[in-house]
Amino acid sequence: MSTTTDTGVLAARFQETFGAAPDGVWQAPGRVNLIGEHTDYNEGFVLPFAIDKTAKVALRVRDDSRVRMLSTFGGHGLVEADLSDLEPGSGEGWSRYPLGVAWALKERDIDVPGFDLLLDSDVPSGAGLSSSHAIECAVISALNELTGAGLAAEDLVLATQRAENVYVGAPTGIMDQSASLRGAKGQAVFLDCRDQHVELVPFDAESSGLVLLVIDTKVSHSHADGGYASRRASCELGAEILGVKALRDVGMERLEEASGLLDETTMKRVRHVVTENDRVLQTVDVLGSQGPASIGPLLDASHVSMRDDFEISCPELDLAVDTSRANGAIGARMTGGGFGGSAIALTPVGQEQQVRDAVVRSFADAGYTAPDIFTVTPAAGARRLA
């Protein structure tokens, strides 16, 4: 996907497409998860941040229940639907996300009118950077304002989760939309997924002489597939056997006990979640006391846990992480739901090009599709642009 950097260009294209000016243009970012993977639906802790890649929507409400939508990123024609016909599972491709948001708001007895929508995004699709939630958060920000619903950020988070879980059929937690809706420039979002408590934690890699590289492996993934769902089911089984509401309630001290109660696979899944929660808390402490240059070992340990215990990595992700570390990155891990997507590598500025070149070379040598490598910085959350 490529984005029109000029909001006015998007508004002008909207008018050309739909014959009237939009009511406004809204933007919501994708996200990178610094650490805390598959802990969100276990009511644990995560530390994502909103990134400087975004989905924009120009939107105008209609006086009927029709929805007309078009995207700028090629190969997709005009999508039409009627709000009165919405039911979980309807819609195809990217259109499911705006339709799911409208459906979720209607479920809350909000009078959602029909609308025309033009979407533009530069959040890479399938890369583990939450392109779908960026779309949802931009749309729900627009509809929340234009309907006068006045929902707080916490309610917008839950509505988008409902859209994902029920309408789209992806059993995701609340991390992605929380980062997109509640992010801030220069800050990571320390989120307690049990009660939605948020603390903003400074994460300024640049001031520490670092860059955060994203390595998009081009291995596309989907949260609606069986791998994600089976991991969640294992976590729920582990919590049930251990007699807790969620794995968030299992401390490091209970892992030895758990190993005597759980089958090998369930134990591995539980161990990842318990240790990952602990790594998130450690990372927040280290960022506050020592800064970004000291979190590398925690990023490395997170990847090992996801590779070996949660088993959601893939050869391309492992190669990206291992090559980055061998060529100067101080810490690296896969990010996102797994089974493809992206890795992140926290890298000294002086080593950035060496890491980039080495990863590209290693992918070519392995016969993999060339990765897309770029830097990200913590950016502002969803907002109206015009």
Q: Which of 40, 116, 122, 176 is an active site residue?
A: 176
What is the per-residue burial (b if ≥16 Cβ within 10 Å, else e) of 45-55? Answer: bbbbbbbebbb
Tokens of 130: 């939450």
d(CA 268, CA 306): 10
Map residue 297 onto helix, strand or coil.
helix
Which residue, among 184, 127, 138, 181, has the nearest Cα to 336 in the 3D structure? 127
CB burial of residue 333 (10 Å; 0-12, 13-18, 19+) = buried
Tell me how far apart the alpha carbons of residues 247 and 236 are, in angstroms, rounded to a whole number.
8
- The phi, psi pair for 92, rounded to 5°, reads -135, 150
Q: Where is 49: in which H helix or E strand?
A: strand 45-61
Cα-to-chain-centroid distance, residue 262? 30
176 noted as active-site residue: yes
Residue 188 in contact with residue 47, Cβ under 8 Å? yes
- In terms of Cβ atoms closer than 10 Å to its own Cβ (0-12, 13-18, 19+), residue 195 is exposed
The radius of gyration of the chain's CA atoms, rounded to the nearest angstrom, is 21
- Positions annotated as catalytic residues are 176
